[in-house]
Amino acid sequence: MKEHDQRGLAIFSGKNFTRPTAYVLLLSLSYALGYLSSSSVSTKEQASRIEETPQSNTPRKNATTDSTISLQSEPDHFHFTTQCADPIPSKLVRRTIIDRVFNGTNPYDGFPPAHVSHLLRRKRIKGWGSTGAVFENLIRKVKPRTIIEVGTFLGASAIHMAELTKRLGIRTQILCVDDFRGWPGFRDRFRDIGMVNGDVMLLYQFMQNVAHVNATESVLPVPFSTGSALEKLCEWGVLGDLIEVDAGHDFHSAWSDINRAYKILRPGGVIFGHDYFTGADNKGVRRAVNLFARVKGLRILLDGQHWVIDSP
């Protein structure tokens, strides 16, 4: 044994080295060794994770597929409602909505009420892509008895579909789902839409537009948020042969509306919507539509600015 090793032993075994002191030194030494060991393992694990993570500038050909797999592993992303009720006959749809939404009274009876009549324009019909060829193409194809429009604003496309079904001799009930509140700032573009005690007149102006073209027997408003209304239609067994989704245009709103609407689509029906090509590109409606079709294994058809998905 070397001389300096012998001196080290003497330090620990000498009479002047007390037991408490030895205990403190041993504890400190153990702590130091444990810390160094932990740091070494942590560094190795971090290095391993870095090696396993693809570089940020490496293109990912299956990015959408990866997102789909992630969503499929999270059932809450698809659990929008319980099982829908058995479908009611198309001839009972109008009566069901009047009974459950309007307490049995036709909302057009006595319209317009005196306190808003002076605020309404005789006709104020405005929409975007509301008279495209896709409407007649799909109505001729599906011959729908029930049409559900998700997002209606002033009713331009609903009125166009009512005129088409009448001209084609198809007896159709059109349900317009909208909270009729517009969006923050919409009155900057529609200054002629009145307001009473904070209540914008969108619902009343929509009804005035419908009355103006004599479509009150075929067009009914369902004045609630799209999510809550579609849930209730599902629970009531109100299904659509043709469903247009054109409400919120951000990804999350469109994703929610498309999933909920698809649950109330009759077999053989068609779901479609507007704004597939917009400045939002793949961050809004298009992303929601593409992801939905991929997850469900469905094919997207395009008709101008509109996307179209047939039921299986």
The pLDDT of residue 15 is above 50? no
The pLDDT of residue 167 is above 80? yes
Q: What is the mean pLDDT of residues 291-305?
A: 94
Q: What is the mean pLDDT of residues 107-116?
A: 94
Cβ neighbour number for residue 254 with a 10 Å cutoff:
27
Would you say 249 and 284 are in contact if contact means Cβ atoms under 8 Å apart? yes
pLDDT tens profile 45-83: 333 332 332 333 333 333 333 344 455 555 555 565 568
pLDDT tens profile 274-296: 999 887 667 899 999 999 999 99
Residue ranges with strand state E in the chain: 146-150, 173-177, 195-196, 199-200, 219-222, 240-245, 265-273, 300-303, 306-310
pLDDT tens profile 80-107: 556 899 999 999 999 999 999 999 999 9
Structure tokens at 215: 């479509």
Query: What pLDDT, on a 0 to 100 scale, did the predictor assign at position 45?
Result: 37
* 233 vs 245: CA distance, rounded Å: 15
Query: What pLDDT, on a 0 to 100 scale, did the predictor assign at position 282?
Result: 77
Nearest to 261 by CA among 283, 231, 217, 303: 231
Q: CATH classification of 72-310, choosing from 1.20.1240.10, 2.60.40.10, 3.40.50.150, 3.10.105.10?
A: 3.40.50.150
Largest Cα separation within the chain, whole Å, is 113
How large a percentage of the chain has pLDDT more than 70?
Answer: 72
pLDDT, greater one: 312 or 79? 312
Q: What is the mean pLDDT of residues 238-254?
A: 95
Domain ranges for the chain: 3-52, 72-310
Structure tokens at 171: 């007896």
Query: What pLDDT, on a 0 to 100 scale, did the predictor assign at position 269?
Result: 97
Q: What is the mean pLDDT of residues 4-32?
A: 50
Q: pTM of the prediction?
A: 0.75
Query: What pLDDT, on a 0 to 100 scale, did the predictor assign at position 81?
Result: 59
pLDDT, greater one: 94 or 44? 94
Query: What pLDDT, on a 0 to 100 scale, did the predictor assign at position 182?
Result: 77
pLDDT, greater one: 193 or 298? 298
